[in-house]
Structure 1
Amino acid sequence: MKSIHITKLSKMPNSWEDIPGGKYYLIALNKQLQPWWPKILGDHLLKIGQLSLQVDTQSSLITHQFSMNISGNNFQLLGNPNEMPFGDKSIDACLLIQQLSYSINPHCLLYEVNRILVDDGWLILSNFNPFSLLGIVKYIPFLCKKEPYRCRMFSTYRQLDWLSLLSYEILYQQSFQIIPWISPNNFINKNIQFIGCINLIIARKRTLPFTPTPTKFIKSFMEICNKVEVIKC
């Protein structure tokens, strides 16, 4: 995995309202997640970052929901998401909304989230799509320094590749909200989604329950082969 660590990055917006069309992004994101909350079970739901905090999780069956960020006043826990103060396999679901786009080291963040997630834990990941209207505007000189165009944008394929290396099973993937500044219920945003401005991925952490070992049959077969070789010699 090629490192994409950088030393300087634009600061994440304090809320969706600080992003042009942000309220529509949030409405569309909540609409996509609504059918999934009853399926996501567990004891602890962690929201990382300012934009994750504003996602509506009232329909979730997980009772203990808390948030974490490196700074801010509305978070239950302050700390570096790349070095979270949780034990291994202690969180059942993690909400990572637009966090990779503003992370200095996205790989480190994903590895840390993978560390704290329990086996079969849920990862809800969203980011801005470079193959969308936002990706085009990003190359316009007088707009590229404004939100959300100045943040990094990772393609769906690239994110899926990262998750595959960590052995995640992809349960849902969708791009939505083609035109940022209009309602998600608009005909275009509602019916054409493959080049939407936001990518959403819902995945589960899959791990083998034990280390594969040779069966007794294979061991016996290998012993017989060794004896045959000795006789031939």
Structure 2
Amino acid sequence: MGRQVWSRLHEEMPGLLGEMFGYVGVQIGLGALSPSLLVSSRVKQQAGLATALSGADILGRPEALPFGAEALDLVVLPHVLEFSSDPHQVLREVDRVLVPDGHAIFIGFNPVSLWGLWTLAGGGPWSTSGSSGRAHLYTQTRLKDWLALLGFDITETRYLLYRPPSRRALVADRCGWLESAGRRRFPMFGGIRIIAARKRESTLTFIKPSRRRLRVLSGATIKTAPKAISSERHD
């Protein structure tokens, strides 16, 4: 089931990330699934962060990201908020590490969908991920309010997966017609919701962005590193 969701997300991400530019992008969560959702992004340096290093580049927690302030241009968070014990802290960390005008992509199960109900019942493909064990799904209105308080503007919302969740390929295939019907007739009931948000500029003064490299705070655990990743000390 997780691979089915991951495959569908990879089909959608190029159209969403194609116009987002920058030097550094990080996928937070689900680091063991490959390829990364950032693969279609135009950011120059990409890495994955997860709570375990299996398949990820950096070990860390979404509630305490191992990056300095205003260090990243793009952050993609697949199914992070819904499995975090402190989603508000995750959002504060995203706000801290993003540069002004940087982008955050929040991916999660839609609470008003069959996939959302299935996940709340403990049947989701990543129901054991994250620190809280069981998923907590949030409405579009609540997420919009949380992001607005931190100075983010929602630029786009997309919905995917209209066929019911099933581990049987035959059932999924027979319900394939629901994908096109759902997009046309009831788009807001898609099983997966993607929210793209932009961090507002904090000043009216234009500052030319400097070339950056992906740096993690001293003490963070890094896998056999991509050359783009280096460590810096913050005393």
When normalised by structure 2's length, the TM-score is 0.71
Whether 1:198 and 2:183 are equivalent positions in the alignment is no
How far apart, in 2, do the equivalents of 1:197 and 1:51 lie? 21
CA contact (8 A) 1:47 1:53 kept: no
Number of positions where the alignment pairs a residue of Structure 1 with one of Structure 2: 186
AA aligned opposite 2:90: L
Whether 1:40 and 2:20 are equivalent positions in the alignment is yes
DSSP 3-state at the match of 2:143: helix
How far apart, in 1, do the equivalents of 2:190 and 2:31 lie? 18
Q: 1:100 to 1:77 in 2, by over 3 A?
A: same
How far apart, in 2, do the equivalents of 1:135 and 1:156 lie? 13
Match of 2:145 in 1: 161
Match of 2:124 in 1: 147
How far apart, in 2, do the equivalents of 1:165 and 1:52 lie? 32
Q: Once the 2 structures are TM-superposed, how far is the Cα of residue 196 of structure 1 from its aligned partner? A: 0.9
Q: 1:75 to 1:137 in 2, by over 3 A?
A: closer
DSSP 3-state at the match of 1:47: strand
How far apart, in 2, do the equivalents of 1:52 and 1:29 lie? 15
Greater mean alpha carbon deviation, residues 162-171 or residues 54-63: 54-63
Structure 2 regions of 5+ residues with no counterpart? 128-133, 167-171, 206-235
Match of 2:5 in 1: 25
Cα offsets for 1:22-68 (capped at 9, x unmatched) = 22222222222211222110000011111685444332211210111
Match of 2:54 in 1: 73
Cα RMSD (Å): 2.3
Greater mean alpha carbon deviation, residues 158-167 or residues 86-95: 158-167
Q: Where does 1:1-233 land on structure 2 (aligned, <5 Å)?
A: 21-50=1-30, 54=34, 55-137=36-118, 144-148=121-125, 150-179=134-163, 180-181=165-166, 182=172, 186-192=176-182, 193-209=187-203
DSSP 3-state at the match of 1:83: coil
AA aligned opposite 1:145: G
How far apart, in 1, do the equivalents of 2:138 and 2:26 lie? 23
Q: Once the 2 structures are TM-superposed, how far is the Cα of residue 206 of structure 1 from its aligned partner? A: 0.5
AA aligned opposite 2:29: G
Larger Rg: 1
Q: Which has the higher strand share?
A: 2
AA aligned opposite 1:168: F
- Structure 1 residue ranges, 4+ long, deviating more than 4 angstroms after superposition: none
How far apart, in 1, do the equivalents of 2:102 and 2:50 lie? 21
AA aligned opposite 1:48: I
Identity %: 29
How far apart, in 2, do the equivalents of 1:135 and 1:204 lie? 25
Cα offsets for 1:11-31 (capped at 9, x unmatched) = xxxxxxxxxx32222222222
